[in-house]
Amino acid sequence: GENVEQHPSTLSVQEGDSAVIKCTYSDSASNYFPWYKQELGKGPQLIIDIRSNVGEKKDQRIAVTLNKTAKHFSLHITETQPEDSAVYFCAASIPRGTGFQKLVFGTGTRLLVSP
């Protein structure tokens, strides 16, 4: 069935270090891969996404890479700051034939950035 695995479940880094979160997916038809950030007491919010026709995308300190052959994608955060501390979720789209695509989410990574 449709499945997205995410690692690690927790990640502690020092301020200024880089953080990397990795996900693998099972459905080869998936073509959209978003990353959501969930801060304490809030709902998840999209921070970056990538489509299957692109291998890498950057937005300031955040980047996402995609390897379609291996079915894995990663989130990279450089120069981490304490406000990056949150739970991060990856997701992969599941086509439904027509209309929108469902998302299957990973299990989440709790990132803690220490000053």
- Sites of contact with other proteins (CB under 8 A): 4, 6, 9, 32, 34, 36, 41-46, 49, 89, 93, 99-108
Closest separation between CB of residue 115 and other proteins, Å? 26
Closest separation between CB of residue 79 and other proteins, Å? 25
What tokens were used for 86? 């949150």
Report the residue number, 43 or 115, with the smaller CB distance to other proteins: 43
Helix (H, G, I), strand (E, B) or coil at 24: strand
Report the residue number, 99 or 115, with the smaller CB distance to other proteins: 99
Task: Give dist(CA 102, CA 70) in Å, integer.
Answer: 21
Q: Which helix (H) or strand (E) holds 85?
A: none
Report the residue number, 46 or 67, with the smaller CB distance to other proteins: 46
Instruction: Label the pairing between strands 109-114 and 10-14.
Output: parallel
